[in-house]
Amino acid sequence: MTLFQLVKVALDALYEEASHKYGKGVDNEIVSRFSYLTTSYKDLSNNGRNPLNYKDPATRFAYVYKYVASHGDYIVQLLRIVREELGAVFKDKTARVTCIGGGPGSDILAVLKYLSDYSSEEPVAKVVCYLLDKEQAWADTWTELDDKLDLSRINLNVNFQPLDVTEPDSWASQRKFLEADLFTLSYFVSEVYALDEGVVGKFWATLFEEAKPGALFLYDDNGTEVFNNYFDQHWNAAGLELLKGSTNTQLTPSSSEQASELAMYKDKFGENPKLKSLLSYRILRKET
């Protein structure tokens, strides 16, 4: 299955949820949420801004439609780079993955897509995934993923955990997520940068200090220097090793990814899923 095909399954469920809430007005609500997201993302570096709110099903529909497949595809491309650098990304039968700000599903879909593309070259038989996100409403979208995917070879265990990086009480007592082999931070740093009054910095320090030796971190974000510089400062202070990085690279989804899978919704809303993007990434490793 392509990422767009998987996204279509999630969108159908979200459209139903939004229709239940808004009845005949659902399409207008969704159209207004596309604008809400676009406008809010232009303002991410503004320290006075309000946090984005993804609770409403119309907003979650708009996010998944517009961003999940392309963000997932970028992560697949980063995993391929890891493979070129290190060989197999996962060294054991059980792969532990933690997706920070992973509620919308892009990150876990990417890991599963990568594992299905390289099924004979990665030793993984089981994936244990922690989706950490402050928005509980995302939980329903992806926790029954294994029913929706044809995962003949892989046993999948997805755990959604509410966690707000600006609230230390929400992460101080959670430990399991720190045991991951791979951490993903996809379009997450930009979302919390302006909310960091020191506490988010403590989250990064805890994360990098308590992750296990050899753990990999994938950061990718919208290219803006202010977010890259902020994140570079934090991983540098923790002494992580940069395996590969790039700033403002133009990325396009892989040729197998066809946005036409979502044609029905494109006709309805006149909105295209995001495809090309300027992206910055860092592939990092904690010393063994």
Ligand X SMILES: C[S@@+](CC[C@H](N)C(=O)[O-])C[C@H]1O[C@@H](n2cnc3c(N)ncnc32)[C@H](O)[C@@H]1O
Tell me the window of 118-126, 128-136, 140-148, 247-255 that interacts with ligand X (CB under 6 A).
128-136
Q: Which position among 56, 73, 122, 133 is part of the footprint of ligand X (CB under 6 A)?
A: 133
Residues 6 or more apart in contact with residue 14 via CB below 8 angstroms: 57, 60, 61, 64, 141
State the Cα–Cα distance between residues 124 and 77, nearest whole angstrom: 19
User: Taking the complex as a whole, how short is the minimal distance between the CB of residue 188 and ligand X, in angstroms?
Assistant: 5
Under the binding rule (CB under 6 A), the answer on residue 135 touching ligand X is yes
Under the binding rule (CB under 6 A), the answer on residue 67 touching ligand X is yes
Of 186, 246, 187, 208, which is closest to residue 37 (Cα–Cα)? 187
What binding mask, one character per residue, do residues 94-123 give for ligand X by CB under 6 A, x or -? Answer: -------xxxx-xx----------------
Under the binding rule (CB under 6 A), the answer on residue 222 touching ligand X is no
DSSP state of 103: T
Query: 């650098």: which residue's tokens?
Result: 85
Query: By the 8 A CB rule, do 106 and 277 touch?
Result: no
Chain centroid offset of residue 241 CA: 22
Size of the site for ligand X (CB under 6 A): 24
- For residue 156, how many other CB atoms are within 10 A of its CB? 17
Under the binding rule (CB under 6 A), the answer on residue 76 touching ligand X is no
User: Taking the complex as a whole, how short is the minimal distance between the CB of residue 55 and ligand X, in angstroms?
Assistant: 9
Q: Report the interface residues with ligand X, using CB under 6 A.
A: 51, 54, 67-68, 71, 101-104, 106-107, 133-135, 138, 163-166, 186-188, 191-192
